[in-house]
Amino acid sequence: MRNPGPERLASGMPRALVILIAGACLVVIIAGLKLGAWLIAPVFLAMVIVITLRPVPQWLRRHGVPAGIATALLILLVYALVAALVVILVVSIAQLASLLPAYAERADDLLDGLKSLLAHWNISPEQLRPATDQLDFDRLLGYVGNLLGSVTSIGTSILFVLALLLFFCIEASGAGARQLALQSDRPAIGSAISGFVRGTRRYMFVTTVFGLIVAVLDTIALEIMGIPLPLLWGVLAFITNYIPNVGFILGLAPPAILGLLEGGWQTLLAVIVVYSALNFVIQSVIQPRFVGQAVGISTIATFLSLVLWGWVLGPLGAILAIPLTLLAKALLVDVDPRARWVDDLLASRATGRAEAPPRPSAEPEKS
């Protein structure tokens, strides 16, 4: 009996060679995405916003509002939301910059107290110097100044996103007809794109609802504890809620540090306890269950997508990690029935498509 050679695909190429070629292509694609992150991330952000809010003009048209007026109302709604968010962030950051110099002396006192405490444990100042040299409050003020100095460039990016939103909102009125044509001409691609739109809309709805709940609760709690700028930290908690898994830590750090400067270690612990009770339970325990049910992606796949897209596209990639993963899955997995096994690996629970292999039929008995 002849020994079979290496496993080959229907194309005649060895499977190992196909895997190597696919891996090389993937590296090139990721490098291209990283190089064009300045363009890809804002474009995808605008597309996700329009996909999320598209049901609004559809609802208006079902209630007799003309298509042009419904599209104009959608544009006004999007612009109003973006403008409100930008105004809150810019004003709050300006207030923070004027507030931080008042805490410089308090920060030095806390640092001296920490040195005394560690010296009481027989840790010499020479051993502490490499760490304490990094704790420079003036350097923190410099970071805030650089942040304020970059408001102009941020404003340019926002204008670019607003222009994209305008064109996407106008084109969204004809998206239904294009989707039907695509579904008729290429059913597999049409179904995959429809699944991406549905999954993205569900994810954004669930994440936005939980983000609003967390933001309101955090703002109220920080106001009660007397932490300065509670509205800024509430908005920060809302934005970081879109970052899977680690958004809780990113939203906790600034108000916790400000609580330390404002009221000492007791206030720091109070902020951590409140955030842990509110944000951790909601964002890390309850919300992932709803997100997994909405998009069908497991927790480990969510975390890996956060790491990948955050590295490739930067902060916007971290915020849009789940929609980007849904788009990649739609284009690479859902369009090809032979790749559905990848969906089983990424799914939050088994899809139940597996069936027992057919049993060989017995030969009919001869009479």
pLDDT tens, residue by residue, 83-130: 888 888 778 777 877 877 777 777 777 777 766 766 667 666 565 555
Got the DSSP string for 106-123? Answer: HHHHHHHHHHHHHHHTT-
Label residue 12 left, alpha or beta by phi (over 0 means left) and psi (-120 to 50 means alpha): left
Q: Please give the residue that has the higher pLDDT: either 61 or 345.
A: 61
Predicted pLDDT at 364: 46
Predicted pLDDT at 326: 92
State the average pLDDT for the chain. 78
Predicted pLDDT at 355: 44
Predicted pLDDT at 294: 67
Q: What is the pLDDT of residues 158-168, one digit of tens each?
A: 778 888 888 88
Residue 246's Cβ-count burial label (10 Å; 0-12, 13-18, 19+) is middle
Q: What is the mean pLDDT of residues 78-86?
A: 85
Q: Please give the residue that has the higher pLDDT: either 29 or 140.
A: 29
Does pLDDT of 361 surpass 70?
no
Label residue 366 left, alpha or beta by phi (over 0 means left) and psi (-120 to 50 means alpha): beta
Q: Please give the residue that has the higher pLDDT: either 279 or 332.
A: 332
Predicted pLDDT at 366: 46
Predicted pLDDT at 309: 94
Predicted pLDDT at 358: 46
Amino acid identity, position 108:
D
Rounded to whole angstroms, the Cα distance separating 48 from 50 reads 5
Tell which residue, 65, 48, 137, 128, has the closest CA to residue 319.
48
Rounded to whole angstroms, the Cα distance separating 286 from 296 reads 15
Got the DSSP string for 223-288? Answer: HHHT-S-HHHHHHHHHHHTTSTTTHHHHHHHHHHHHHHHHH-HHHHHHHHHHHIIIIIIIIIIIHH
Does pLDDT of 219 surpass 90?
yes
Residue 264's beta-bridge partner residues? Answer: none
Predicted pLDDT at 129: 58
Predicted pLDDT at 357: 43
Predicted pLDDT at 151: 47
Task: Annotate 75-102 with b (16+ C-beta within 10 A) or e (fewer).
Answer: beebeeebeeeeeebeebbeebeeebee
Predicted pLDDT at 33: 92
Q: What is the pLDDT of residues 270-324, one digit of tens each?
A: 999 998 888 777 776 777 777 766 677 877 888 889 999 999 998 889 889 999 9
